[in-house]
């Protein structure tokens, strides 16, 4: 009998262009809570998806009770006693608690001895039993859609328990729970530990890890850093281990000089209570303001709010000293604000249209003759200017944008916004999915724009990029701004400290 219920060793996984996991290991003891930690993109979720059979490993093996096993898909994982509660819960709201728990594996009975039928009585009595085990006392026949988020989560855990799981993966389980609900979750986890279940607990919240975790495995950039007893660790030590890497990217020298305040946001709050709230900040002429935070910090949502894509309840936006009102993207664009979105494919490029169509869409009124007719020559001139200025590699202006590389698509989109000659540029993850060479070119473009006196807000989840490019860094956590750090004083540690300041 092995001392581990499940071991993953030498796990590697390559996605096109990225080594997501590189020789990673994870060893789970029965009856222990094993915390898995790392920055955004460290490979935690990828590792869990390999364990749960969603991804296939390129190398490495999984042992259960010391015996090698292969896990082909989630059904396979479940049958071997591995269950996962996803960060985004996926219940069927219109069906009952019992039906959700036994979905796809309803207890059956034979009516008249031969007609197969669902045994509802057994299903609901079993559900009541399971709910008792997770200390929940609601009606098994209640519709899941009527439950609170924490109750839905308990249903998911009950479902995992019902599969007689031996390994339970909880991916950021407390991200949408209140303090009381977190306590309830911890009681369930304690019960499961007592029953000998190994729990993998993924979270960014240090205090939770130190309270409930028995062991901690830390990952960074797809690599295994080490495993420690939780009692040996402190918050500071975890952060140092999570981010402790050299700055590998090079950044262009910046010669911009921040001037007077051009853009100011006061007490900006979303209509969605879980999203951004009470955000205030100032942006200077020629300044690069970095925005840091973990996934779920609501940075993108905040920018979309400022750009008129999402609605806000309270808050004021001042632009060059005057209060402005933005209710749709066109309002923001007319004021001289531009936003490069994070999801280039979904909300940036218009794939089946040409480079010329894509680059001219926001500033088309400038190329109209007599107010109606598009002047092809002026558009062509715009394309050629940008191709030259930003070194865009495209066969012609008629080429469909989807056939360009990510870096060139991004340059076209930057060109789209610059054609409007904006004073404020919001760049949301401007180098995501772009190869290293093109990244440097994008950095140079950003640095040049700031030098020309444009004000730039840059969201980035890459710590080194944030530190390397920003004059000032605004850090967000859970919808709030938790701190500002001067670019020269920024370190991965102090950013991470602000980024994990949960209420």
Partner 1 sequence: MEKKNKSTEQSRLRAFLTGDRFKALLPLIGFVIIILVMHIMTNGKILTPKKLRLLFSQIYYPTIVATGVFFIMTLGSIDFTEGSTLGVASIVVSALSFYSIPLAILGGILTGAAIGALNGFFHVKFRLPSFIVTICTMYLFRGVCAYFTTETAVPASNAIKALDQDWLKITITLAVLAVAFFLFKFTRIGNDVKAVGSGETAARFSGVRTGRVKFLAFVGAGALTGLAAFVNVIKVGSITSTAGNQLETQILISLVLGGLPITGGAKVRFTNIIVGTLMYAVLNSGLSILGYEPQVQQLIKGVVFLIFVALTIDRKALKVIK
Return the residue of 277, 416, 439, 480 that touches partner 1, per CB under 8 A.
Answer: 416
Q: Smaller CB distance to partner 1: residue 271 or 436?
A: 271
Task: Give how many residues touch partner 1 by CB under 8 A.
Answer: 29
Q: CB burial class (10 A; 0-12, 13-18, 19+) of residue 12?
A: middle
**Minimum distance from residue 361 beta carbon to partner 1 (Å):** 5
| Closest to 95 in 3D by CA, of 136, 130, 141 | 141
**Minimum distance from residue 445 beta carbon to partner 1 (Å):** 19
Produce one character per residue of 456-494: b if its CB has 16 or more CB atoms within 10 Å, e if not: bbbbbbbbbbbbbbbbbbbbbbbbbbbbebebeebebee
Q: Smaller CB distance to partner 1: residue 7 or 357?
A: 357
Evaluate whether 60 touches 26 at the Cβ level (below 8 Å).
no
Evaluate whether 55 touches 49 at the Cβ level (below 8 Å).
yes
Could you tell me which stretch among 124-132, 261-269, 356-364, 467-475 binds partner 1 (CB under 8 A)?
Answer: 356-364
Separation CA 353–CA 260 (nearest Å): 40
**Minimum distance from residue 471 beta carbon to partner 1 (Å):** 26
For the chain, the residue count is 503
Evaluate whether 471 touches 485 at the Cβ level (below 8 Å).
no
Could you tell me which stretch among 127-135, 153-161, 310-318, 361-369 binds partner 1 (CB under 8 A)?
Answer: 361-369
Binding to partner 1, residues 112-151 (CB under 8 A): none
* CA dihedral sign of residues 354, 360, 361, 362: positive
Q: Smaller CB distance to partner 1: residue 56 or 328?
A: 328
Separation CA 157–CA 169 (nearest Å): 10
- Told to check if 374 binds partner 1 by CB under 8 A, we report yes
Return the residue of 1, 232, 352, 503 that touches partner 1, per CB under 8 A.
Answer: 352
Return the residue of 351, 377, 384, 491 that touches partner 1, per CB under 8 A.
Answer: 351
**Minimum distance from residue 401 beta carbon to partner 1 (Å):** 9
What stretches of 103-215 show up as alpha helix (H) in DSSP?
A: 120-133, 149-162, 179-194, 206-212
Could you tell me which stretch among 17-25, 35-43, 295-303, 363-371 binds partner 1 (CB under 8 A)?
Answer: 363-371
- Told to check if 350 binds partner 1 by CB under 8 A, we report yes
Separation CA 430–CA 262 (nearest Å): 22
Evaluate whether 184 touches 150 at the Cβ level (below 8 Å).
yes
Could you tell me which stretch among 6-14, 33-41, 158-166, 344-352 binds partner 1 (CB under 8 A)?
Answer: 344-352
Separation CA 136–CA 151 (nearest Å): 8
Per-residue binding letters, 285-324, with partner 1 (x by CB under 8 A): ----------------------x-x---------------
Phi, psi of 380 (to 5 degrees): -60, -40
**Minimum distance from residue 49 beta carbon to partner 1 (Å):** 23
**Minimum distance from residue 334 beta carbon to partner 1 (Å):** 8
| Closest to 242 in 3D by CA, of 15, 26, 22, 36 | 36
DSSP letter string over 426-490?
Answer: EEESTTTT--HHHHHHHHHHHHHHHHTT-EEEEE-S-HHHHHHH-SEEEEEETTEEEEEEEGGG-
- Told to check if 492 binds partner 1 by CB under 8 A, we report no
Q: CB burial class (10 A; 0-12, 13-18, 19+) of residue 10?
A: middle
Longest dimension (CA), the chain: 84
- Told to check if 419 binds partner 1 by CB under 8 A, we report no
Return the residue of 1, 113, 373, 488 that touches partner 1, per CB under 8 A.
Answer: 373
**Minimum distance from residue 373 beta carbon to partner 1 (Å):** 5
Return the residue of 258, 329, 453, 483 that touches partner 1, per CB under 8 A.
Answer: 329
Could you tell me which stretch among 20-28, 205-213, 239-247, 369-377 binds partner 1 (CB under 8 A)?
Answer: 369-377
- Told to check if 75 binds partner 1 by CB under 8 A, we report no
Return the residue of 368, 378, 398, 452 that touches partner 1, per CB under 8 A.
Answer: 368
- Told to check if 377 binds partner 1 by CB under 8 A, we report no
**Minimum distance from residue 338 beta carbon to partner 1 (Å):** 10
Return the residue of 339, 434, 475, 481 that touches partner 1, per CB under 8 A.
Answer: 339
Q: Smaller CB distance to partner 1: residue 314 or 347?
A: 347
Residue indicated by tokens 């599969």: 163
Q: Which residues bind partner 1 (CB under 8 A)?
A: 307, 309, 328-330, 333-334, 339, 341, 346-353, 357, 360-362, 364-365, 368, 372-374, 376, 416
């Amino acid at each position: 009998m092995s001392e581990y219920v499940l071991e993953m060793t030498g796990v590697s996984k390559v996605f096109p262009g990225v080594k997501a996991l590189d020789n990673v290991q994870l060893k789970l003891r029965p009856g222990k809570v094993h915390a898995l930690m790392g920055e955004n993109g460290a490979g935690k979720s990828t590792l869990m998806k390999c364990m749960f059979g969603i991804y296939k490993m390129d190398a490495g093996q999984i042992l259960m009770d010391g015996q090698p096993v292969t896990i082909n898909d989630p059904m396979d994982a479940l049958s071997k006693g591995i269950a996962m509660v996803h960060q985004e819960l996926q219940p069927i709201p219109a069906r009952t608690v019992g039906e959700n728990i036994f979905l796809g594996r309803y207890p059956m009975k034979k009516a008249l001895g031969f007609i197969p039928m669902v045994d509802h009585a057994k299903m609901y009595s079993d559900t009541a039993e399971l709910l008792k085990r997770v200390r929940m006392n609601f009606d098994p026949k209640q519709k899941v859609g009527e439950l609170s988020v924490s109750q839905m989560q308990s249903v998911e855990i009950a479902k995992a328990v019902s599969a007689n799981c031996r390994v339970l993966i909880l991916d950021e389980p407390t991200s949408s729970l209140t303090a009381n609900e977190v306590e309830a979750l911890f009681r369930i986890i304690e019960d499961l530990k007592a029953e000998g279940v190994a729990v993998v607990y993924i979270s960014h919240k240090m205090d939770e890890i130190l309270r409930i975790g028995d062991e901690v495995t830390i990952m960074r950039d797809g690599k295994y850093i080490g495993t420690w007893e939780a009692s040996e660790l402190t918050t500071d030590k975890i952060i140092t281990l999570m981010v402790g890497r050299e700055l590998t990217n090079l950044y262009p020298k910046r010669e911009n000089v921040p001037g007077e305040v051009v853009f100011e946001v006061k007490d900006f709050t979303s209509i969605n209570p879980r999203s951004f709230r009470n955000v205030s900040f100032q942006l200077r002429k020629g300044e690069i303001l970095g925005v840091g935070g973990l996934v779920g910090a609501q940075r993108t949502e905040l920018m979309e709010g400022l750009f008129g894509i999402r609605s806000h309840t309270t808050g004021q936006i001042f632009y060059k000293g005057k209060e402005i009102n933005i209710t749709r993207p066109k309002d923001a664009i007319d004021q001289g604000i531009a936003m490069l979105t994070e999801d280039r494919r979904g909300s940036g490029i218009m794939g089946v249209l040409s480079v010329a169509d894509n680059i001219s869409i926001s500033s088309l009124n400038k190329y109209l003759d007599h107010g109606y007719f598009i002047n092809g020559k002026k558009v062509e001139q715009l394309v050629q200017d940008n191709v030259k200025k930003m070194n865009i590699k495209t066969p012609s202006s008629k080429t469909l944008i989807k056939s360009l590389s990510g870096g060139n698509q991004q340059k076209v989109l930057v060109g789209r916004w610059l054609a409007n000659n904006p004073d404020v540029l919001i760049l949301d993850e401007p180098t995501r999915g772009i190869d290293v060479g093109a990244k440097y070119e994008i950095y140079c473009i950003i640095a040049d724009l700031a030098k020309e006196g444009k004000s730039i807000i840059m969201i980035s989840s890459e710590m080194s990029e944030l530190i390397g490019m920003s004059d000032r860094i605004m850090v967000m956590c859970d919808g709030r701004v938790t701190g500002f750090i001067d670019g020269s004083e920024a370190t991965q540690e102090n950013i991470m400290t602000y980024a994990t300041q949960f209420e």
